[in-house]
Amino acid sequence: MSPGPTKAGAVPNRRLATVRGVPASSPPGRRARLASPGTSRLSAEAREELRRRLLSLVESNRVMIFSKSYCPHSTRVGGARRVPGAGGRRPAGSPRDPNPRSAEVKELFSSLGVEYNILELDQVDDGANIQEVLSEITNQKTVPSIFVNKVHVGGCDRTFQAYESGLLQKLLQQGAEYDYDLIVLGGGSGGLACAQEAATLGKKVMVLDFVVPSPQGTSWGLGGTCVNVGCIPKKLMHQAALLGQALADSRKYGWEYSQQVTHNWETMREAIQNHIGSLNWGYKVSLREKAVTYVNSYGEFVEHHKIKVVRGCFVFAATNKKGQETCYTAANFVIATGERPRYLGVPGDKEYCITSDDLFSLPYCPGKTLVVGASYVALECAGFLAGIGLDVTVMVRSVLLRGFDQEMAEKVGSYMELHGVKFLRKFVPVTIQQLEKGSPGKLKVVAKSTGGPETFEDVYNTVSVYFISSESGKIPVNDVEQTSVPYVYAVGDILEGRLELTPVAIQAGKLLARRLFGGRFEKCDYINVPTTVFTPLEYGCCGLPEEKAIEIHKKENLDVFHTLFWPLEWTVAGRDNNTCYAKIICNKFDNDRVVGFHILGPNAGEITQGFAAAMKCGLTKQQLDDTIGIHPTCGIHNAGNHEVLRTGHHSEGLLRLGPLLLRFPCHCPPRRQHGTLPASLHSRRRAPDKETGQQRATARLA
């Protein structure tokens, strides 16, 4: 007799776990029971009985796999095929290794979230007889032999061919009594991208999206955080602040105006909210055109983790604003609910504080503002509030821009301080008390030091909280965004240990839909993803922060090249000449490959996007040196024009000299032992000097 049944469809590459208490050392799957006729040589009657039993297994199971758990000839298999969910190539093993060809097929079905049933022919007494009768039925002498919805697909190669052509997916859908092929939980960037891609591939899709109002009562329409309370309004308000700086610069360029220029918060808010409303409407129209069902409801799984509610699918209860419940079923689910800001957990926070959920639609100017937190969202909001002329203080618990390059983060903070933003370091609020109601009112904030007994208190019109969400509550997934429940996937900010960026969620959502329904294999690449912090002086980066690069590659294996630069647009306006900064981090034992790119300056996002593409192609320092820049631009300062912090040999750099570019030798010392740099080369660790670029170039040439 075969072993007892076990569950199929566990997440690939977690085979050391147990399934219902049974050690899953072989690939996971339900093992079918088949009574043995008890003889090695079958009579005609016994053969017919065995044939009937085999066909019964095929008839009663959606996916039936006849295989062997071990392959005595596995050394002849030249390595396994990559499949969705597989952690890599399985090396050919010694005799008695797990059958790699059967494992490939099982991993494929697991990655698709499909429950399969297995009969391991080497684990039953009459396996040879079963294989003989099976070959008569299928005209296939080898295993694995796979049936899908009563159709014999074939062995390993033919199953993968069927998957790549889309035939396998069509066979799997036959006879399935689901309301939908896919239900997406969350109508943000990642969820909408996945839903629309699946619909484009001909699937029946539903999107559930419901915004729980913030403690201040703020809610919004379809599109998620990015569109409504994130990237879009943030960038537009950042632009409003930049226009204020442009007005100040314009006088040096000959613009004359006598009237006092003021900023009107209500006008800006209304214009931005009108634009967001048009985007909300556009998403609804796009879903309707693709025949995607949109339900503005809050949903929760029923009988969580019990996947066999209705024929192996989930039952999902959707609750609308009127409290009415309707149940839907689907073959697959994608969780794309995103994240919301966290509050402080101190008296008065939810009653009187706002977050980024509220700021962009605030009906009145926030006035004197305390920004609590130093995440990129916190610094971006503090930056544009100060840029439109408000009194802004940032209360920092520990470091600026945690997770980003700390040298760049401190430069961001220094620029903000020079332009009016106050920083209160190593403090956290302990109480928020309302002194006066109004729009805005007055709030008294009491804070304590994180490093001593000091306390601080002040009165503000608005307290805005920006705490980075912790990993608690995040969803762990494998490399194909599959959760521990095979039918449930997740994309976007809800994922554990993944980047919380809109373009990442969109890419992951599209590729997930293509793998599930389009026969594709491409997985989302989370390496070398570019991003930009839209502070008053923008910070763009791609690849590793210097701290992480040292942790991974070791300090002695890295070279860091850097440069200060003065944008041409800033010269006439008389703005800072030692502020904009760029650096690249190179692995000198991998052909000086660029592993980190960082730039602080105007339009940093536009510059970083291009360099990110180059880094995807394996950009090296030599290729940067060989690149001819566009003059005059800020981007030219990244095309081979970095001064060098380098041990061991001479190099060259480019430095701006007025309107020209001058190539000059870097005065590096003779080769030294790794890790020892003369003090003269630690220029980026010193406070910036006040010389102009021309003076510094002249000094070096002398």
User: Which residues are designated catalytic?
Assistant: 631
Measured between alpha carbons, how far is 373 from 407 in angstroms, rounded to an integer?
Answer: 18
Q: Name the burial class of residue 22, with classes exposed (0-12), middle (13-18) and buried (19+) by CB atoms within 10 angstroms of its CB.
A: middle
Q: How far is CA 537 from CA 1, 401, 601, in A?
A: 71, 14, 5
Q: Any idea of the CA torsion for 507, 509, 510, 514, to the nearest 10 degrees?
A: 130
Burial readout 646-679 (b: 16 or more C-beta within 10 A, e: otherwise): bbeeebebbbbbeeebeeeebebeeeeeeeeeee
* Angle (CA) 220 223 226, round 5°: 90
Q: Helix (H) and strand (E) counts for the chain?
A: 19, 30
Q: Locate the DSSP E strands across 306-379.
A: 314-319, 325-335, 354-355, 369-372
Measured between alpha carbons, how far is 159 from 131 in angstroms, rounded to an integer?
Answer: 19
Nearest CA-CA partner of 458 in 440, 475, 435: 435
Q: Any idea of the CA torsion for 438, 439, 444, 446, to the nearest 10 degrees?
A: 150
Measured between alpha carbons, how far is 263 from 268 in angstroms, rounded to an integer?
Answer: 8
Q: Which residues make Cβ contacts (< 8 Å) with residue 446, sequence separation at least 6?
A: 429, 430, 431, 433, 455, 456, 457
Nearest CA-CA partner of 461 in 559, 548, 393, 399: 393
Q: What is the chain's Cα-based Rg?
A: 31
